[in-house]
């Protein structure tokens, strides 16, 4: 996977959005600042935006593998209501989303991808479906069930934050001021439903008005939290508390992944007897974007990826509980490697990812990522792979 272009669109745009939103939605505060501070803000915005058009244009040269993957997502994983949870449909009656149910998780990931690749038609298509089938007025429902036309009454913080970040990225790239304002309204309601003082919580139930009393560490998307329309002091306190929860969730030097959840009432980490590697990888990605990653985590991941032995579940001592491997795990490693600028780590992760892509033209999963025997193919794996294709260490 040589010559991959423009990590700037995946990482730089997020930074760009932060500064633009700060300027647009805190103008009263900015106007009150001395001219010298105002000039510094304007200078920083200029530095962030300088050359962005060239970088975005450069980023549009994509590999054949990426072309196959996006074609699979568009043709085999997308329907009237949005992106399918799984290529195989089900009765859609399970406790967790299955089959052709629609997840806010999938919408956010694809919006982020299509904005990064300037796929305007795709972006607005998914945006329209997100508004219609996942926005219930109070929040983004984490799940829509087409067979019963039901929207779940709960959201998931990680998904709402990803949607907000993706929509703001799209608003900047497609120069859509109306979308930017719309998204900031989503941000304002998220602050009301999922944030209490310095506490980010897992979910809010719009039916029962119940807010979770805990936070899953991988939900703490620090980049997205920075974009929320909040008073400066409240945002500062929130970020300080959430960074502390993330960094203190480190398991051990012997097994340098992260604990699962933090209970605000108990003031303790919970549910960490088994470690889901995807959750830990998301946590490390969030930390890496703030330069808060532990080098031992990166070294551990590099070693496992190089050997092709990054497994799905471990116990808290690092013993393997589930030897299955996931496309999304290697994709997340590629994203982490790109953020920390580790070329060998990135290349190894992309090599492992390539091995998992279906190249058999006789199967309906051709171009995608899934099990050719069972025909199971999950949106999260495919969409994380697409995001991995958009970054590089160059």
Mean pLDDT in residue range 138-152: 96
Name the H helices within 2-103.
7, 13-25, 27-31, 35-49, 52-58, 64-76
Torsion sign, CA atoms 185, 164, 159, 230 = negative
Q: Is the pLDDT of residue 32 over 70?
A: no
DSSP state of 11: I
CA dihedral 357, 360, 363, 364 (to 10 degrees): 50
Q: Given a cut of 70, is residue 2 above it in pLDDT?
A: no
342 is a domain residue: yes
- pLDDT at position 53, please? 34
Res. 60 pLDDT band, cuts 50 70 90: low
Q: Crossing angle, helix 327-340 and helix 343-356, to 10 degrees?
A: 160
pLDDT higher for 91 or 187? 187
CB-based burial, 225-259: b 16+ in 10 Å, e otherwise: bbbbbbeeeebeebbebbbebbeebbbeeebbbbb
Is residue 293 within 8 Å of 287, Cβ to Cβ? yes
Count other C-beta atoms under 10 Å from residue 178's C-beta.
8
Q: Is residue 163 part of a domain?
A: yes
Q: What count of Cα atoms within 13 Å lies in the side-chain half-sphere of residue 138?
A: 20
* Sequence-ordered list of residues with C-beta below 8 angstroms from that of 342, at least 6 positions apart, any chain: 298, 302, 393
Contacts of residue 195, Cβ cutoff 8 Å, sequence gap at least 6:
201, 228, 230, 238
Q: Which domain holds residue 172?
A: 7-389
Comparison of pLDDT for 329 and 38, the residue scoring more: 329
- How many DSSP H helices and E strands does the chain contain? 17, 15
pLDDT at residue 394 in the model? 66
In a domain, 164, yes or no: yes
pLDDT reading at 29 higher than 80: no
94 pLDDT higher than 90: no
Please give the share of the chain, as a percent, with pLDDT higher than 70: 85
Q: Is residue 394 part of a domain?
A: no
pLDDT at 96: 80
Q: 230-281, pLDDT tens digit by residue?
A: 999 999 999 999 999 999 999 999 999 999 999 999 999 999 999 999 999 9
2 lies in a domain? Answer: no
Q: How far apart are CA 8 and CA 344, in angstroms?
A: 19
Q: Within a domain: residue 120?
A: yes
Residue 244 in 3-state DSSP? helix
Q: What is the pLDDT of residues 186-211, one digit of tens each?
A: 999 999 999 999 999 999 999 999 99
CATH number at residue 31: 1.50.10.10
Q: What is the CA radius of gyration of the chain?
A: 20
Question: How many domains are contained in the chain?
Answer: 1
3-state secondary structure at position 259 = coil
Helix, strand, coil shares, percent, the chain, to 5: 55, 10, 35
Phi-psi category of 310—alpha, beta or left, where left has phi over 0 and alpha has psi -120 to 50? beta
- State the average pLDDT over residues 344-371: 97
- DSSP structure string for 302-354: HHHHHHT---SEEETTS-EEE----HHHHHHHHHHHHHHT-HHHHHHHHHHHH
User: Would you call 4 helix, strand, or coil by DSSP?
Assistant: coil
Round to the nearest angstrom and report the end-to-end CA distance of the chain: 13
The total of other beta-carbon atoms located within 10 Å of residue 371's CB is: 14
| Sign of the CA dihedral with 136 first, then 142, 147, and 148 last | negative
Cα distance between residue 349 and residue 328, in whole Å: 11
pLDDT band at 126 (very low <50, low <70, confident <90, very high): very high
Give the tens place of pLDDT for each residue, 217-231.
999 999 999 999 999
Query: What does the pLDDT read at residue 393?
Result: 74
Residue 345 predicted with pLDDT over 60: yes
Confirm whether 1 is domain-assigned.
Answer: no
Concatenating the DSSP letter of every residue in 140-180 gives B-SEEETTTTEE-SB--HHHHHHHHHHHHHHHHHTT-HHHH
Q: What percent of the chain has pLDDT over 90?
A: 81
Residue range 103-116: mean pLDDT, rounded? 98
Decide if pLDDT at 305 tops 50. Answer: yes
Question: pLDDT value at position 85?
Answer: 96
Find how far residue 388's CA is from the centre of its chain.
11
Domain-located, residue 122: yes
Q: What is the structure's pLDDT at 93?
A: 77
């Amino acid at each position: 996977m040589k010559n991959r272009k423009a990590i700037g669109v995946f990482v730089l745009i997020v930074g760009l959005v932060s500064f633009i939103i700060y300027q647009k939605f805190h103008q009263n505060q900015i106007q009150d600042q001395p001219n010298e501070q105002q000039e510094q803000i304007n200078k920083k915005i200029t530095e962030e935006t300088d050359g962005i058009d060239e970088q975005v244009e450069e980023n549009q040269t994509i590999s054949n593998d990426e072309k196959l993957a996006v074609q699979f997502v568009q043709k085999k994983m997308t329907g009237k209501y949005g992106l399918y949870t799984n290529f195989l449909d089900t009765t859609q009656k399970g406790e967790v989303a299955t089959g052709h149910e629609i997840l806010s998780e999938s919408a956010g990931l694809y919006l982020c991808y299509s904005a990064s690749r300037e796929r305007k038609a795709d972006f607005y298509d998914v945006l329209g479906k997100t508004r219609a089938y996942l926005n219930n007025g109070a929040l983004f429902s984490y799940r829509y069930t087409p067979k019963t036309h039901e929207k779940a009454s709960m959201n998931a913080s990680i998904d709402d934050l990803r949607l907000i970040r993706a929509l703001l990225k799209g608003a900047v790239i497609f120069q859509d001021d109306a979308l930017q304002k719309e998204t900031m309204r989503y941000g304002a309601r998220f602050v009301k439903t999922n944030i209490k003082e310095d506490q980010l919580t897992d979910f809010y139930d719009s039916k029962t008005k119940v807010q979770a009393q805990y936070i899953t560490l991988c939900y703490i998307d620090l980049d997205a939290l920075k974009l929320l329309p909040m008073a400066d002091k409240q945002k500062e306190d929130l970020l300080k508390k959430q960074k502390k929860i993330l960094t203190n969730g480190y398991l051990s030097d012997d097994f340098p992944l992260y604990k699962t959840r933090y209970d605000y009432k108990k003031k303790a980490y919970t549910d960490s007897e088994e470690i889901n590697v995807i959750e830990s990888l998301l946590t490390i990605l969030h930390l890496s974007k703030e330069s808060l990653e532990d080098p031992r985590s990166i070294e551990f991941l590099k070693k496992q990826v190089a050997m092709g032995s990054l497994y799905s579940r471990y116990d808290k001592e690092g013993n393997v509980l589930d030897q299955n491997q996931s496309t999304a795990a290697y994709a997340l490693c590629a994203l982490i490697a790109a953020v920390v600028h580790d070329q060998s780590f990135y290349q190894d992760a992309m090599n492992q990812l390539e091995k998992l892509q279906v190249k058999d033209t006789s199967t309906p999963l051709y171009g995608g990522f899934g099990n050719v025997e069972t025909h199971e193919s999950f949106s999260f794996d495919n969409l994380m792979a697409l995001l991995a294709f958009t970054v590089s260490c160059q």
